[in-house]
């Protein structure tokens, strides 16, 4: 097997999927992005289902990966495509792959697997993001229309396609993808994703609301801050904690000062996995605050599954894909309305039992949408069995 992902090797869903394939008895080559000082090639052994172990080989490409302009994305994606094509051809000729999983973004990297596909290798494309809608949100219609062509190419070239929500699946079908070759494997968090550490010691009278992950305008941090300012007029119990970095971080700092939230909001930046796990285990509520866009209405966020996995009640912006799959599991608010979010926070502060009921419903939903329910189906989809 080969799994291709334009991310570092410790990306959570890459680890989750690679581990599933290894435990099923497949040797796996991971082609991914190198972090500074990481070795280009690394080989590890894992217990398989029988007496023989499975082998994980990580092949890293040194690509300058960063968010930026269209030109920077084009350069990164082109360099990545050339490198992946070379590695798949070189190692696939020595030992032909049973299957290659191309994990988007970018969608056009499916071209790197065409030589293997011609030789009879099974090709699976896992659409982690709706690329057309994402680029429409970031850059506008002209770029998104070009990206849509690469998505259709990937759908028609692959033996099988995976995506993360039913809403995205329907969008792919509407754009011409064969319905029988697309199935949904959600962004569920692996059961062992978070280190088992004690909850962070924050005073019990503080109501802790956490939003972790990339800090960009489209993730709704400004709505959270303006909601926090409204809540602060009613109670001094709320404490909002942001973790992560991104281009909107400076504006977050400005808003904290402008809204006089220094005592109520903390922006910690990057934190370690154990420290983040301790914070999430202390959280009274998790905030998933995407702004409305063609993109956000088609996806679920990884942070939402993190909260579900740890039993943290969630307040989420009311977006199509999230409501469709998790109605009753989250308290929803209008995505661009700080007053709605403030009302939801005040309700949870006043009535912890109602918040806990949402968390219980989300935990029950993981019986069918959690990784333990999806893992075997994922392996079958990639292996073709």
Q: Are 118 and 231 part of one and the same domain?
A: no
Measured in whole angstroms, the distance separating CA 5 from the mean position of its chain's CA atoms is 13
* Same domain for 222 and 182: no
Interatomic CA distance for residues 39 and 4, integer angstroms: 17
How far apart are the C-alpha atoms of 110 and 199, rounded to whole Å? 43
Which pLDDT value is given to residue 61?
95
Q: What is the pLDDT of residue 69?
A: 66
Same domain flag for 49 and 171: yes
CB 24: neighbour CB atoms within 10 A? 20
Are 26 and 86 members of one domain?
yes
Residues 304 and 174 occupy one common structural domain: no
Whether residues 220 and 359 fall in one domain: yes
Cα angle 46, 370, 324 (rounded to 5 degrees) comes to 145
Tokens linked to 7: 């991310």
- Mean pLDDT of successive 10-residue segments in the chain (385 residues)? 93 94 96 93 90 93 71 82 95 93 92 94 95 82 80 92 96 89 93 94 96 96 98 98 96 97 97 97 98 94 96 98 96 97 98 97 96 96 92
Domain enclosing residue 36, as ranges: 2-186+371-383
Separation of alpha carbons 14 and 32, rounded Å: 9
What is the model's pLDDT at position 77? 84
Q: How many CA atoms lie within 13 A of 314 on its CB side?
A: 31
In a domain, 199, yes or no: no
> Would you state the pLDDT for residue 142?
74
Q: Spell out a b/e string for 192-222, using b for 16 or more CB atoms within 10 Å of the CB, else e.
A: ebbeeeeebebeeeebbbbbbbebbebbbbb
Rounded to the nearest 10 degrees, the angle between the axes of helix 352-369 and helix 302-309 is 110
DSSP state for residue 298 in the 8-state scheme = G
Domain shared by 128 and 28, yes or no: yes
Q: What CATH number should be reported for the domain holding residue 138?
A: 3.40.50.2000
Residue 67: predicted pLDDT: 60
35 and 177 share one domain: yes
Under DSSP, is residue 287 helix (H, G, I), strand (E, B) or coil? Answer: strand
Query: How many domains does one find in the chain?
Result: 2
Residues 6+ apart with CB under 8 A from 36: none
Name the DSSP class of 65.
-
Look up tokens 């409204």; give the residue: 230
Query: What are the CA-CA distances from residue 215 to residues 10, 194, 268, 289 (Å)?
Result: 20, 21, 11, 11
Model pLDDT for residues 156-189, shown as the tens digit of each residue: 999 999 999 999 999 999 888 889 999 999 999 9
3-state secondary structure of 327: strand
Helix/strand number for the chain, H first, E second: 14, 14
Give residue 118's Cα distance to chain centre.
31
Contact 182, 163 (CB under 8 A): yes
Same domain, yes or no: 214 and 182: no
What is the tens place of the pLDDT at every residue in 50-60? Answer: 878 999 999 99
Q: Do both 350 and 267 map to the same domain?
A: yes
DSSP 51: S
Does one domain contain both 162 and 236? no
pTM for the model: 0.91
Statement to judge: residues 32 and 166 lie in one domain: yes
Buried b (16+ CB within 10 A) or exposed e, 125-145: bbbbbbbbbbbbbbeeeebbe
Residue 196 belongs to a domain: no
Whether the Cβ atoms of residue 163 and residue 175 lie closer than 8 Å to each other: no
Q: Which pair of structure tokens corresponds to residue 353?
A: 């039992």
Q: Where are the beta strands (DSSP E) in the chain?
A: 2-5, 28-33, 41-47, 53-61, 99-104, 122-127, 160-163, 182-184, 207-212, 238-243, 265-267, 285-288, 314-317, 331-333
Measure the CA dihedral 175/176/181/186, to 10°. Answer: 0
Answer yes or no: are the C-beta atoms of 375 and 18 closer than 8 Å. no
Q: How many residues does the chain have?
A: 385
- For residue 193, is it within any domain? no
For 360-373, write each residue's pLDDT tens digit. 999 999 999 999 99
In a domain? residue 201: no
46 in Cβ contact with 53 (< 8 Å) = yes
pLDDT at 73: 74
């Amino acid at each position: 097997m080969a799994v291709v992902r334009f991310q570092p090797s410790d990306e959570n869903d890459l680890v989750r999927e690679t581990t599933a394939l290894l435990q099923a008895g497949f040797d796996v080559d991971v082609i991914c992005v190198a972090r500074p000082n990481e070795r280009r090639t690394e080989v590890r052994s894992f217990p398989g289902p029988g007496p023989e172990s499975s082998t994980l080989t990580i092949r890293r490409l040194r690509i300058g990966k960063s968010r930026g302009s269209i030109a920077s994305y084009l350069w990164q994606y082109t360099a990545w495509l050339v490198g992946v094509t070379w590695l798949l051809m070189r190692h696939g000729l020595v030992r032909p792959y049973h299957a290659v999983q191309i994990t988007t973004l970018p969608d056009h990297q499916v071209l790197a697997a065409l030589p293997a596909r011609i030789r009879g290798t099974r090709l699976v494309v896992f659409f982690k993001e709706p690329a057309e809608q994402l680029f429409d949100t970031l850059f506008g219609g002209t770029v998104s229309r070009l990206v849509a062509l690469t998505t259709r190419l990937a759908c028609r070239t692959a033996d099988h396609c995976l995506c993360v929500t039913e809403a995205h699946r329907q969008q792919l079908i509407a754009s011409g993808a064969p319905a029988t070759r697309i199935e949904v494997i959600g962004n569920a968090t692996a059961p062992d994703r978070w280190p088992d550490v004690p909850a962070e010691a924050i005073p019990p009278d503080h109501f802790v609301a956490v939003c972790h992950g990339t800090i960009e305008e489209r993730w709704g941090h400004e709505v959270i801050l303006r909601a926090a300012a409204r809540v602060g007029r009613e109670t001094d119990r709320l404490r909002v904690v942001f973790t992560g970095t991104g281009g909107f971080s400076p504006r977050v700092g400005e808003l904290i000062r402008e809204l006089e939230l220094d005592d109520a909001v903390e922006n910690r930046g990057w934190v370690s996995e154990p420290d983040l796990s301790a914070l999430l285990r202390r959280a009274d509520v998790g905030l998933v605050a995407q702004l409305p866009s063609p993109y956000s209405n088609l996806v679920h966020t990884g942070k939402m599954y993190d909260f579900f996995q740890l039993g943290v009640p969630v307040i989420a912006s009311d977006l199509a894909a999230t409501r469709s799959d998790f109605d009753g599991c989250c308290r929803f608010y209008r995505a661009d309305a700080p007053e709605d979010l403030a009302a939801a926070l005040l309700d949870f502060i006043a009535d912890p039992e109602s918040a806990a009921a949402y968390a219980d419903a989300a935990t029950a939903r993981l019986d069918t949408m959690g990784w333990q329910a999806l893992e075997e189906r994922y392996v079958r989809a990639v292996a073709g069995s």
